[in-house]
Structure 1
Amino acid sequence: MIQVKPLQKVNPLDLEAERKYYAHAVATGTVDLERLAYLIANQSTVREADCYAVTLSLVHNIMDALEQGNIVRLDRLGSFQIGVNSMGVSTEKDLTANAVKKAHVNFRPDARLRKMLKNLKYSVSS
């Protein structure tokens, strides 16, 4: 069950407009790599330390592949790719690497993950 709470927001296109309330997802906790390694180990014949080491190696290799400009596809999970935000310039010739303001990671969930998102149940908390 996904907890949501009301969050009042201003309309950025019309600052004078009445503020409205929108649902905002509330995290109920965190699960880190150590916990995931523990869970995987208990669901398989692989030891927890091995699961943790493999997971850390996976993270390292995902970061390395992204730094090289690759899309990283993890079957049944989704794809990761670097995206950038940049300043606008007048002409194509004016665009340089210095125009990039910041980078972020785009994640595109796999079909099974998208299906899970469609079937979530929600409850409002205060």
Structure 2
Amino acid sequence: MSVKFKVVSKKNPQDLVAPVKFYASAVGFGKTNLDKLAKMISIQCTVTEADCYAVLVSLETNIISELEEGRIVKLGRLGNFQVGLSSEGMPTEEGVTSHAIVNNRIRFRPGERLRDFLQTVKYEKLP
């Protein structure tokens, strides 16, 4: 198996007269949702599909709850989830309030096996 990619052209937004450059862009083929993951897991073990689905939904709920408490959620070999944010720069420390926050995101840091996957994955260019 290999990750497929296509070639895309992009202009430099900081220099609109610069020549276009070409870049590789990963192509997704379909999606896998919680239902499918629950079914796949149930086939690989003795737990029912409904039980797997319930655990996955509960996992999501609990990850959100822990992130709300400001915790880093460590899922062992899978990796870690953490809230990240960006803010405007202010001239004084007192000026940095929640109103200065301009963006937020959930950061995921993959575990060792996922990182290893990225080191060994093969790529195939689509025609």
Normalized against structure 1, the TM-score is what? Answer: 0.94
Tell me the distance in 2 between the aligned counterparts of 1:16 and 1:37.
50
> How many residues matched?
126
Pick which of 103-112 and 5-14 moved more.
Answer: 5-14
Q: Secondary structure at the match of 2:16?
A: coil
2:102 paired residue number: 101
The sequence identity of aligned pairs, in percent, is 46
2:59 paired residue number: 58
CA RMSD of aligned residues (A): 1.2
Q: Which structure 2 residue ranges, 5 or more long, are not aligned? A: none
Tell me the distance in 2 between the aligned counterparts of 1:11 and 1:85.
24
Tell me the distance in 1 between the aligned counterparts of 2:115 and 2:14.
30
Tell me the distance in 1 between the aligned counterparts of 2:72 and 2:10.
35
Deviations 1:21-42 (A, max 9, x none): 0000110111101100000100
Q: Which structure 1 residue ranges, 5 or more long, are not aligned? A: none
1:82 paired residue number: 83
Give how far 1:85 is off. 1.8
The alignment status of 1:21 with 2:45, answered yes or no, reads: no
Tell me the distance in 1 between the aligned counterparts of 2:16 and 2:89.
25
Tell me the distance in 2 between the aligned counterparts of 1:24 and 1:54.
34
Tell me the distance in 1 between the aligned counterparts of 2:93 and 2:8.
41
Give how far 1:11 is off. 2.5
Tell me the distance in 1 between the aligned counterparts of 2:70 and 2:9.
38
Tell me the distance in 1 between the aligned counterparts of 2:17 and 2:75.
45
Normalized against structure 2, the TM-score is what? Answer: 0.93
